[in-house]
Amino acid sequence: MSFISNVLWTVLFSASPFFELRGGIPFGIAVGLNPALVFILGVLANIIVVFAIFFFLDYIHKHLLPIGFYKKSFNYFLEKTRRKAEKHIRGKKWEYYALFVFVALPIPGTGAYAGTLISWFFNLDRRNSILAIGLGVVASGLLVTLVTMGIVSLF
């Protein structure tokens, strides 16, 4: 693969809801891209997704609810995410810190997508949410980069 296609795949993996940084950064480093470049591209792609998700939820989502498959899928994902986060985030004075930690943990079911959905669902302040999610993405990206490079071991 060429440099451009490797960069493109790294960005696409980092922006995808299934892989996010957990997939984009290891892919980019594995194909030989500079780890600093991979970190920057992955984090930027993942942060840009936050704005796209908020736009989708605010303006497009309500028009898709009449579609049965969409409604069933969205409600399933929303309920799964809500159960995971509600007791830790809603109504707590540290809800934005909890949102940061939730996004920063590079484990399945957490990340920018789930963090944005939580913020939207619980009607958290948009500016504070974007800051918490963005910082969480940076922290997650740093952790995934360091683990991928073997500098930090989780075990």
pTM over the 0.75 mark: yes
Instruction: Determine the pLDDT at residue 145.
Output: 96
User: Which residue carries 């934005």 as its tokens?
Assistant: 96
Q: What residues does each domain of the chain span?
A: 47-148
Query: Rounded to an integer, what distance in angstroms lies between the CA atom of residue 37 and that of residue 79?
Result: 36
Instruction: Determine the pLDDT at residue 87.
Output: 66
Question: What would the pLDDT profile of 115-131 be if each residue is shown by its tens digit?
Answer: 999 899 888 999 999 99
Question: What would the pLDDT profile of 9-51 be if each residue is shown by its tens digit?
Answer: 999 999 999 899 999 999 999 999 999 999 999 999 999 999 9
